[in-house]
Structure 1
Amino acid sequence: YQTCCVHLSRTIAHKVRVSDRAEICEDFKSVYRAESLEMGQQALHSFIEKWKSKYPKVTKPLLNNPYLFTFYRFPKSIWRSIYSTNLIESFNKQIKKYSKRKEQFPNEESLERFLVSQFDQYNQRFATRCHIGFDQARAELQMMFKTN
């Protein structure tokens, strides 16, 4: 399983019956949308108890996933950005879109130059913008990642 909660939700949806899909995904949302780590762990326990007999291959890996609750270590204002990975997915989609136009690259260096130019354009475009919640969490994040 992947470590981001939205990806886990999609994986779960693909491994269950269509008739159970909406309910199981809604139940899993309670795990990563809980107000605290403790409430999230409690929601996971309830989720597993409810679904383990019907879908053991879905619930068992969740118990052994050490990264499932990682986002709770960060400021609450950025939890959604961490568990959704929308920023990364949108940038990956953009790179795929532009690289398909090129169809092929003559060598690996030309592909590397193309990617670096895409990264540079992205960084310039978003250099002055702050993603939702990160501005509120700036001081706390600086303290968390302060190097001595």
Structure 2
Amino acid sequence: DGLKGISDSVFSIYPASSYQTCCVHLSRTIAHKVRVSDRAEICEDFKSVYRAESLEMGQQALHSFVEKWKSKYPKVTKPLLNNSYLFTFYSFPKSIWRSIYSTNLIESFNKQIKKYSKRKEQFPNEESLERFLVSQFDQYNQRFATRCHIG
């Protein structure tokens, strides 16, 4: 299982950390695995899982989602039931849930770092690469320092 490997890697380095599966990417995966005629409805139903008002309501929404779709799409619903990292964000303040259940900001930054690092034909040494990366992190932190979490 891919999630197991990723989470094991995270926990081996940061044993006290929390891991969250990206709900937006799960939604996209679900959309790709269902009939086009069902996409809008199943994705809307899945939103109720990660946009619930509490952990209990989220778990209830997941149960309802699975009951509704399990006979038609068992390969979509079964992995959701086995995903122990689906509800991690509920243990944080509600004001930052949206920033946690979607990893798009982080992935966008990682893509940007990769793009800029590739453009540099070569760095004369590891220290120059490190200085470049630190400057990118600093710019990122300055840009998002005043960012308000929706909620």
Cα pair 1:71 1:79 within 8 Å, conserved: yes
Structure 1 pair 54/106, CA: closer, same or farther in 2 (3 Å)?
Answer: farther
- CA change 1:39–1:112 in 2 (3 A) is same
CA spacing shift, 1:2–1:61, aligned 2, 3 Å: farther
**Separation in 2 of the partners of 1:2 and 1:78?**
13
Check whether the contact 2:20–2:85 (CA below 8 A) recurs between aligned residues. no
Q: Matches of 2:122 and 2:35 in 1, distance apart?
A: 40
**Segments ≥4 residues shifted beyond 3 Å:** 103-113, 124-133
**Aligned length, in residue pairs:** 133
Distance in 1 of aligned mates of 2:60 and 2:147: 36
Unaligned runs of 5+ in 2: 1-18
Aligned residue in 1 for 2:114: 96
Question: Retained in 2: the 8 A contact 1:2–1:8?
Answer: no
Decide whether aligned partners of structure 1 residues 37 and 7 sit closer, same or farther in structure 2, where only a CA change above 3 A counts. Answer: same
Show structure 1 runs of 5+ residues with no match: 134-148
Q: Aligned equivalents of 2:34 and 2:123: distance in 1?
A: 40
CA distance in 1: counterparts of 2:146 and 2:63, whole angstroms: 42
Name the % identity: 98
What TM-score do you get using the length of structure 2 for normalisation? 0.73
1:72-109, CA deviations, whole angstroms, 9 ceiling, x for partnerless residues? 11111111111122321332232234234335556665
Q: For 1:112, what is the secondary structure of its paired residue?
A: helix
Alignment CA distance shift 1:104-1:50 (3 Å): farther
Q: Cα–Cα, structure 1 residues 67 and 103, in superposed 2: closer, same or farther, change >3 Å?
A: same
Conserved? CA contact 2:49–2:58, under 8 Å = yes
Contact 2:34 2:73 in 1 (8 A): yes
Deviation at 1:27, TM superposition (A): 0.7
Distance 1:33 1:118, change over 3 A: same
TM score, norm. by length of structure 1: 0.74
Query: How far is 1:2 from its partner?
Result: 7.5
1:120 aligned onto 2:138: yes
Query: Which residue of 2 is the match for residue 76 of structure 1?
Result: 94
